[in-house]
Structure 1
């Protein structure tokens, strides 16, 4: 595959889904960006701006059931956390992302809302960004987005018409605060910290990291990025998993790594629920105490018990860390 032949049409690749060994998440070929020099930002260099957010950021996936979603959001409001609204391929069709952002903000929960580069024209992206900003989100998370080939056997065709780095500039030009993602454990790992700096130059204000193994590796990445000039507050990932199904849901994503010790502990535990909670609490506490991390992102489906139970699990992690 030649450079420029990225199945996601990326210019500022690689995406966060590069597989172990440097393979593309879409096709059985090497990622065209691996083994090549880092692609530097070609536009105007922009300085990051301050964003006020709590130290806990929780993944929130609306169900489309207003009663259930309101109960979950009331729990989050009482916990004093922020939420990260995704833009997932398998979100319920009934979920309107701008309306979901309006609900989270109206519930008194600070919100980062995601926009991907999948299947949206320039006008459609502008309309969505304007809608999210009008809803009052604290920031828009700009990501290229995963390709359905990475997780689903049968899937519709998708077209990538923008990407994370370019979306950062689009959101910034429309007056919004910008969050960006990075995957420290995805190949080429030696370029990932520098790539985050390029996203900062493109307009990023805050970074949300993807799962990248043990705490020491996350902290080492944050310190490396800072040494290269990254001034973005970084939210480090904490996998929340209380059963093997919720752990498997995280492991299906290419470019994501959960610490081997945590995986082994879950597989051998006679009480996966308590083990998973303890692992999340310990990791969150260690990351927040490191001095290198601005906050933590409690991430994952957490439980097979449904949305309300998931919200309660996340709240238990927060309560235990802050006790």
Structure 2
């Protein structure tokens, strides 16, 4: 009996310690979600500004018949490049599986070079039959996302839109697609974004985008330098947003997993407490029966005398 009570007590202590760890991870995930969601919200305004600038540059190029961003169709033999965003750590439910399954389904008909963001995603891609070209570590904070963006642009070998000898047309021979999870009311959903090449429909949408004020802007630099700068910012913003949204989704998935674990541990603790009290009460009852039986035996002895 004592051994069983001690074992139950140890299980209850272990479950309590685990519940404390889960509660800490819940708080950490909830806090992280906030900072990534705020960064995505702030970035939306900046992305809109970049799009307005691009539209002005394209409109000015058309009006002045200067070098425009008229995009030729992508080369037939252009090999697609893809970046799949995931996590380095576990306890995120099916977060990595969902992103990888979405990417594998989209890349099934194309010969692609794939890079992974996160060791877990890298392993899932290998299990799915895709050997990634490389693996980038997942940034641990918003401040580290720009470093990841720079590493991706360098490793994936996207032509530098700011280079004088390449010009904006060079990047249209590059096909780059991003696969990641985007947060929503239900948690997250897998999405894909074709980042390159920049197509004519995208250009036309920017050109037709109305300016928000009555003051019509003018591009002072007639050359393509301003245009290249805006394209560079478009690439940066798109990659930054994809990484921030993936991190927000990862922490949302971890928070949901920790909430399920917290609920399961709570139910386990209730069961352990109930078993402990029943077993302890059974032990007390047994001891009382022994005392009563002994008292009755003594009474019988005195009566016989």
When normalised by structure 1's length, the TM-score is 0.25
Tell me: higher relative CO, structure 1 or 2? Use CA pairs within 8 A at least 6 residues apart. Answer: 2
Bigger proportion of residues as helix? 2
Larger Rg: 2
